[in-house]
Amino acid sequence: MKLTILGNNGPYPASGGACSGYLLESDSGNTTILIDCGTGVLANLMGAGALDRLDAVVLSHLHFDHMSDMLPMQYAIQFHPRKHPLPVYAPKTPEMTRALLDCGCYDLWPCEDVTIGEMRVSFNPARHPVETKAVSVVCDGARFVFTGDSNTDPLLELFCEDADLLLADAGLSEADWKPTAPHFSAALCGKLAKDTHAKRLLLTHFNPKYDPADLLNEAKQHFAKAECAKIGEVYYI
């Protein structure tokens, strides 16, 4: 699989940045999905020329930094008509936010395990203030796991086991983290990768108030090969 980072900030974008957005393509190029579509992601999706070939969008949850660009995407689709509405897999709540997606351009589905083209997509609850799913994609003999926004959780840890690439929510520094927080710390992302035997760890969901280099150093205390997800960068899984 080929992973392209379209956004790596949260809960708001840095100057020139973009919030959560990850483009995943099969090696054959026949299956393309977008995971999350936060602020600034649509511009980068257009830059990647990928709107027309999207087979589906998967939204980990309906906080705005993960879905707001789904609103103007409906206008983009009006100028790039599709044969069928774009399938969108999203949590059912908060209902008011989900209702914003009910615009005729999208074919709305719940986050239940599904095969999309060559990809087997599965979900596991994350620990976050609204209904949130971690996402696993198996394709081309490899497994990609995205934690969604989450704090530590034993079942989530099981779900992450043996990922070829683990993309993890480093929304907090170690100093700002607490057990009831809505996000992992970068250090805990490193620990998660180590404990679940990930082959590769990418940190994401960078709050612009932090220097990503500091978060990377925290993660490296537990997982020496940790990397920061960079917008525009392509990772082969």
Binding site residues, Zn ion, CB under 5 A: 10, 63, 65, 149
Q: Based on CB atoms, which residue is closest to Zn ion, 116 or 192?
A: 192
Find the shortest distance in angstroms from Cβ 209 to Zn ion: 14
**CB nearer Zn ion, residue 20 or residue 136:** 20
Task: Please report how close the Cβ of residue 97 comes to Zn ion at its closest, in angstroms.
Answer: 11
In the complex, the smallest distance separating the C-beta of residue 11 from Zn ion, rounded to whole angstroms, is: 5
- In this structure, which amino acid lies at residue 129? P
Residue whose CB is less far from Zn ion, 139 or 167: 167
Closer CB to Zn ion, 182 or 190, in the complex: 182
Q: Which is nearer to Zn ion, 38 or 190 (CB)?
A: 38
Q: How far is the CB of 171 from Zn ion (least distance, A)?
A: 7
In the complex, least distance from residue 149 CB atom to Zn ion, rounded to whole angstroms: 4
Q: Output the smallest distance, CB 39 to Zn ion, in A.
A: 10
Q: If DSSP states are collapsed to H, E and C, what string results for the chain? A: CEEEEEECECCCCCCCCCECEEEEECCCCCCEEEECCCCCHHHHHHHCCCCCCCCEEECCCCCHHHHCCHHHHHHHHHHCCCCCCEEEECCCCCHHHHHCCCCCCEEEECCCCEEECCEEEEEEECECCCCCEEEEEEECCEEEEECCCCECCHHHHHHHCCCCEEEEECCECCCCCCCCCCCCEHHHHHHHHHHCCCCCEEEECECCCCCHHHHHHHHHCCCCCCEECCCCCEEEC
- Residues 18, 39 contacting (CB under 8 angstroms): yes
CB closer to Zn ion, 6 vs 139? 6
Q: Which of residues 105 and 145 has its CB atom nearest to Zn ion in the complex? A: 145
Give the nearest distance from C-beta 61 to Zn ion in angstroms: 6
Instruction: Compute the distance between CA of residue 194 and CA of residue 137 in angstroms, rounded to an integer.
Output: 20
